[in-house]
Amino acid sequence: MPDVPSPTPPQKTSAFRTPGEGSSVVISVVTIVSLFALWFAITEMELIKPLFLPKPLTVFQQFVEYATGTANDKPLWDHFLASMLRVFSAFLFACVTAIPVGIAMGMSRVARGIFDPPIEFYRPLPPLSYLPLIIIWFGIDELPKVLLIYLACFAPLALAARSGMRGASQEQMHAAYSMGASYWQVILHVVLPSALPEILVGMRIAIGFGWTTLVAAEMVAAHTGLGQMVLNASNFLRTDIVVMGIIVIGIVAYLFDLLMRWVERVVVPWKGKI
């Protein structure tokens, strides 16, 4: 009797997409448009006074005036470049110092015992709580502004690096040792690649903390900067300038987050696939 081929079992199809599958760009665009439409509708119907929520057109007019240098203040680019210099100089210095500290904490119990208590002590403190002390110690020049942002970026970077150093499995390290790798070769070729995704996530979180600390940092006798522009406008109840500054700060922070996501996809393409 001829062999009858067994029927191929039907492939299971999931009714739902797995998390992260597909693109959410359309949803994000619709959300942003809906929020702006809601803002426009509320202000046009005058449900909220302009002192508390200005109209979108008024905010856009302030953006144009600051961008073209016709506002009764320094041009927007002066504020923007001053804030960028403070935030990114503090962020880069934090990367250079905090990532090695976090790696050392993940490798050595001695380093963990030295650095863990001060980091965990100051990490939950709001920057405004130790801002007066920084002013007393370092004055009112650029150093205290950069230092305040640096401290905000340092803790999440160090903790992310420490957590990432524990990401390498014992099987991977034992396999490398069995193939003749030295201790530092295991660290360089096994542990660090495993820690890299966590470090990149820590960088995204750290730059977010840096931008949130910007306004507090520019309270220290700043003459330029997005945070200083917002603070100065709030003193004169210029809500339109305050909202414009908040939107600019948020857009810049979001664009950098998108850049970090792209770097993460390029540098660690294996993340989430193994």
CB within 8 A of 256, min separation 6: which ones?
A: 207
Please give the pLDDT value at position 266. 85
Q: What is the CATH number of the domain that holds 163?
A: 1.10.3720.10
In a domain, 184, yes or no: yes
CB within 8 A of 56, min separation 6: which ones?
A: 36, 39, 40, 43
Please give the pLDDT value at position 265. 85
pLDDT band at residue 117 under the 50/70/90 scheme: very high
Residue 131 predicted with pLDDT over 70: yes
**Which tokens go with 92?**
């880069």
Please give the pLDDT value at position 187. 76
As a whole number, the mean pLDDT across the chain is 83
Please give the pLDDT value at position 21. 44
CB within 8 A of 204, min separation 6: which ones?
A: 257, 260, 261, 264
Residue 244 predicted with pLDDT over 90: yes
In a domain, 53, yes or no: no
In a domain, 25, yes or no: no
Residue 96 predicted with pLDDT over 90: yes
Residue 4 predicted with pLDDT over 70: no
In a domain, 208, yes or no: yes
Please give the pLDDT value at position 15. 41
In a domain, 31, yes or no: no
Residue 230 predicted with pLDDT over 50: yes
pLDDT band at residue 271 under the 50/70/90 scheme: low
Taking residues 80-88, report their average pLDDT.
91
In a domain, 92, yes or no: yes
pLDDT band at residue 85 under the 50/70/90 scheme: very high
Residue 235 predicted with pLDDT over 80: yes
pLDDT band at residue 103 under the 50/70/90 scheme: confident
In a domain, 272, yes or no: no
In a domain, 23, yes or no: no
Phi-psi region of 272 (alpha: psi -120 to 50; beta: other; left: phi over 0): left
Q: Which is nearest to 233 in space by CA: 28, 108, 54?
A: 54
Reduced DSSP (H G I as helix, E B as strand, rest coil) percent helix, strand, coil of the chain, to 5? 70, 0, 30
For 135-144, which contacts have Cβ atoms below 8 Å and span 24 or more sequence positions? Answer: 135/220, 140/220, 140/221, 142/86, 144/217, 144/220
Report how many domains make up the chain: 1
Could you list the residue range(s) of the whole structural domain that residue 98 is in? 62-267
Please give the pLDDT value at position 8. 47
Please give the pLDDT value at position 254. 87
Nearest-angstrom CA–CA distance, 185 and 180: 9
Among all chains, which residue has been given the structure tokens 């057109």? 57
Please report, as a single letter, which amino acid is at residue 128.
L
Residue 19 predicted with pLDDT over 70: no
* Dihedral (CA of 267, 271, 273, 274) sign: positive
Please give the pLDDT value at position 172. 73
What's the whole-model pTM score?
Answer: 0.78
- Whether the CB-CB separation of 234 and 242 falls below 8 Å is answered with yes
> What would the pLDDT profile of 158-200 be if each residue is shown by its tens digit?
999 988 887 666 677 778 778 887 777 777 777 787 788 888 8
**Which tokens go with 184?**
């530092």
Please give the pLDDT value at position 23. 62
Nearest-angstrom CA–CA distance, 42 and 141: 42
